[in-house]
Amino acid sequence: MLNPPRRVDAGAVPGDIAKMNILVVGSGGREHALAWKIKQSPLVKRLVCAPGNPGMAALGEIRGVTATDVPALVALAQEIAADLVVVGPESALDLGLADRLAQAGIACFGHSRAAARIETSKAFLKDFAVRHGLPTARHGTFEKADEAKAFLDQFQAPYVIKADGLAAGKGVEIAQTRADAESAIDNMLDGRFGAAGARVVIEEFMAGEEASLFALSDGKTSLLFGGAQDHKRAYDGDQGPNTGGMGTYSPAPVLTDAIAALADARLIKPTVTSMIAEGCAPCGVLYAGLMIDDSGPRLVEYNARFGDPECQVLMLRLESDIVPYLVACANGTLADLPAPTWRSEAAICVVMAADGYPGSPVAGSIIRGADVDFGDAVTVFHAGTVRDPDGTLRAAGGRVLNVCARGATLSEARDAAYAAVEAIDWPAGFYRRDIGWRAL
Ligand code: AMP
């Protein structure tokens, strides 16, 4: 039996809130963007990031606890008397960090392990969607390759084959031929994704335009929290392998108010109600990947946390203080808050990745010129960097820097972001030159 999370004395009006100690868990561009936005809040007394990154070190204290070391994170939250823990990555949710924090009486923005299954198991999500009549692609779940292959008879190319579990955004294959579909099934069930590939989900292919819609939930209600569009393929023209995301922009033109309202009514609200009914009430982000066509939005997937790099453009555009929203999700008081306000400006994020990403990114190369002041419009978030004792910045991951900008129009934002990208001296990195092309 879990104890209810400790209530934090917070509401919508900064004046009547006690200042808080906040622990941000994670080390990517998403967490840097969250910490950047949290740091701007007058409600913050102390900001601690674990394990953080060199960019986050400029905002708060960095503590060397990894995002998957649940006992050490709980101990750290206790040590700093955290009033709120904000969990960035899905891996920590899957390991039960939110559950353990609840047991310790510490307020947490992040789903329980059971609620996070909407992301961590595609089979769970698809069955949940069928149980509750959510609009999504027809599917089947299989452990045996011959049964999965036989199910392909029900569809025509292109075929959609997914590893069941978490695979860092790389567990989905859209096969153009039956032969490719069958070898994708064999590859996944052969252990390419470890336990994540013990089951495969075969889905109907949905045509349309994709967008990401965000909502917050406190386990009782939900509140729409912006939208974005991303570029998943590694290279220009949406070519090359799938990645965790090479760039984003917000607002997404395809995500009109009418489409967002439809998605809220048909997907988000029924999802919250049904999760509560199934005993896994959400607490944190519901990130709906939508496929939009003339019939409206359909669900491609849910994620249980902010997208990376979608979060970066959302934080750039969010005008409201984010802290009351995070606290309200943890406390069950979201209904007391107004809808957030957004800057009218557009925002863009260009991901700079290490050569070799998404396969085997080259580590250790030197990056120069990322720390300079590019002006008010531009913000550089760190995603996979380390800093030597002498201050040298090096690549230490696949996606390394997120160069983000705001502008009166998306094209202004794009020009500002690319000017900064070109000023960064990093020969061992690459980036897409066409982020935002669909909207432009
Ligand atoms: P997922 O990890 O489920 O979001 O899938 C990754 C990407 O594969 C999505 O962003 C879509 O571009 C594509 N995708 C997944 N499922 C489908 C589907 N049923 N129909 C069309 N495209 C899909």
Summarize pLDDT for 349-372 with one digit per residue, the tens. Answer: 999 999 999 999 999 999 999 999
Kindly state if the Cβ of 210 falls inside 6 Å of ligand 1.
yes
Tokens of 407: 């502008």
**pLDDT for 3-41, tens place per residue?**
444 444 444 444 455 799 999 999 999 999 999 999 999
pLDDT value of residue 12: 43
pLDDT value of residue 191: 72
Distance 173 CA to ligand 1 centre (A): 8
**pLDDT for 164-194, tens place per residue?**
877 665 688 899 999 999 999 998 888 777 7
Atom 11, ligand 1: which residue's CA is nearest? Answer: 300
Kindly state if the Cβ of 170 falls inside 6 Å of ligand 1.
no
> In the beta sheet, which residues pair with residue 250?
347
**pLDDT for 259-312, tens place per residue?**
999 999 999 999 999 999 999 999 999 999 999 999 999 999 999 999 999 999
Kindly state if the Cβ of 203 falls inside 6 Å of ligand 1.
yes
**Residue 388 pLDDT greater than 90, yes or no:** yes
- Between CA 181 and CA 193 the distance in angstroms is 16
Distance 67 CA to ligand 1 centre (A): 27
Pocket test for ligand 1, best of 162, 166, 172, 254 (most atoms within 8 A of CB): 172
Kindly state if the Cβ of 289 falls inside 6 Å of ligand 1.
yes
**pLDDT for 426-440, tens place per residue?**
999 999 999 999 888
Q: Is the distance from CB of 89 to CB of 165 less than 8 angstroms? A: no
Q: Is the distance from CB of 282 to CB of 272 less than 8 angstroms? A: yes
Atom 8, ligand 1: which residue's CA is nearest? Answer: 172
pLDDT value of residue 242: 86
Kindly state if the Cβ of 173 falls inside 6 Å of ligand 1.
no
Kindly state if the Cβ of 137 falls inside 6 Å of ligand 1.
yes
**Residue type (1 letter), 330:** A
**Residue 413 pLDDT greater than 60, yes or no:** yes
The per-residue pLDDT of the chain, averaged, comes to 93
User: Chain centroid to CA 77: how far?
Assistant: 23
**pLDDT for 191-247, tens place per residue?**
777 776 688 999 999 999 999 999 999 999 999 999 999 999 999 999 998 898 999
Provide the CB-side half-sphere exposure for 424 (13 A, CA).
34
Kindly state if the Cβ of 301 falls inside 6 Å of ligand 1.
yes
Average pLDDT over residues 121-143: 93
